[in-house]
Chain A
Amino acid sequence: MPELPELNPVIHGKLRLALLSLLIGVEEAEFTWLRTKTGSTDGNLGAQLLKLEEAGYVTVEKKFVHRKPQTLYRMTEAGRQALTEYVQALKQLLGGAIGG
């Protein structure tokens, strides 16, 4: 019997999964844009982004634009790789159920 893959616990959280999926499509995104797209609260979003940052899946850059603070998030190569592997593991777990 083939061994089933384990799902990466860092990515498995619904909001973290949504965040990585959003970030993979863009070069960088601002905190407020991520909040709008996920419909999350500031506190929860900040906490989940911190977990992703600690795992090395995203990088954060804080700067001022027109005197307003701006926090930009960018997906790292490790994050890209982790999400790809997560999707592959998901597909393997689902097996023939995909497309059904």
Chain B
Amino acid sequence: MKADSEELGLKDRLSLIENMIAEGRRGTESWGWTFVLWGVAYYIAIAWSTWGFGWSIWGHTALAWPVTMISASVLTVVLATRKRGRQPSTTIGRAISALWITMGISMFILLFSLALSGKYDQQLFVAVIAAMLGTTNAASSMILKWSVQFACAVVWWLAAVASCFGTVTQSSIVFLVAIFICQIVFGSYAMFCEARRNKQGASHA
């Protein structure tokens, strides 16, 4: 009897270790909102750069992308800092953050330079953004082992190719569709998954 209870205790210890390791590694970061936020930011930048809004600063369409991207970056940092709160940092979380931050910096430097040097080209612009987003989504999906995100990477790569071969109008439509699928829809899906995961985590705690 004593031996049985000792054995049970030891088994319980093993499952305690397994459960706690799983709990610690449970994705504590939530990223879905950033996809939605950036999707909306892209739409604002596109609308602003295409139509302007005829008054005040909004009339300066050249400012559309830099101003929107800088605003979205600042908003992301502020919200991420608040949301992160007291969650532990993980190596995976740091790797994903580093990936997106470096991609953002690269994209900003390149596109800003293209615009300043007067080499701005609508199709090239879309192709570069789409290819960079495809690369980052693919790398992120491989780290997280998340096939849905890899599907988004494929959509971005296809958008990059389509932008090179299509007309300016087709390139714009492809970009708008890719943003909707890979930012708004995927971001909302990620938020749903995170909410469900947190709910499960709370009920197990």
Residues of B within 8 A of A29 (CB): 24, 88
Residues of B within 8 A of A37 (CB): 20, 23-24, 205
B residues near A78, Cβ cutoff 8 Å: none
Q: Is the interface on chain B under 10, 10 to 19, 20 to 34, or 35 or more residues?
A: 20 to 34
Chain A interface category by residue count:
20 to 34
Which residues between 1 and 55 of chain B lie within 8 Å of chain A, taking CB atoms?
Answer: 7, 10-11, 13-14, 16-25
Is the pair A28, B16 in contact by a Cβ cutoff of 8 Å? Answer: no
Taking CB atoms, residues of chain B closer than 8 Å to A83 are 17
Name A97's contact: one of B7, B25, B87 (CB within 8 Å).
B7
Known A-B contacts A17-B13, A97-B7, A97-B11; A23 and B86 likewise in contact (beta carbons under 8 Å): no
Verify if A90 is at the interface (C-beta below 8 Å from B): yes
Q: Could you tell me the distance in whole angstroms from the C-beta of A7 to the nearest C-beta in chain B? A: 9
Q: Is the CB of A91 within 8 A of B88?
A: no
Of B11, B22, B24, B205, the most chain A CB neighbours within 10 A belong to B24
Q: How far is the CA of A83 from the CA of B24 in the complex (A)?
A: 15
Mostly, the A contact residues are helix
* Across-interface contacts of A17 in B (CB, < 8 A): 13, 16-17, 20
Do the beta carbons of B16 and A24 come within 8 Å of each other? no
Which residues of chain B have C-beta atoms less than 8 A from A27's C-beta? 88-91, 94
Assess A21 versus B16: contact at CB under 8 Å? Given A37-B23, A37-B24, A93-B10: yes
Most buried by B among A26, A33, A98: A26
| Secondary structure call for the B interface | helix
Please tell me if the beta carbons of B205 and A39 are within 8 angstroms of each other in the complex. Answer: yes
Using known A-B contacts A33-B86, A33-B87, A97-B7, determine if residue A25 contacts B16 with beta carbons closer than 8 Å: no
Q: Let me know if B14 and A28 touch, CB within 8 A.
A: no
Q: Are B205 and A91 in contact (CB under 8 A)?
A: no
Complex formed: what's the CA distance from A26 to B94 in Å? 11
Tell me whether A60 is interfacial, beta carbon within 8 Å. no
Provide 20 A-B residue pairs closer than 8 Å at the C-beta atoms, listed in order of the A residue. Answer: A17-B13, A17-B16, A17-B17, A21-B17, A21-B20, A22-B23, A22-B24, A23-B24, A25-B20, A25-B21, A25-B24, A27-B91, A30-B88, A32-B86, A37-B20, A39-B205, A87-B14, A90-B14, A94-B7, A94-B10
Q: List residues of B whose CB falls within 8 A of some A CB.
A: 7, 10-11, 13-14, 16-25, 86-91, 94, 205
The 3 closest A-B pairs by CB, nearest first: A25-B24, A21-B20, A29-B88
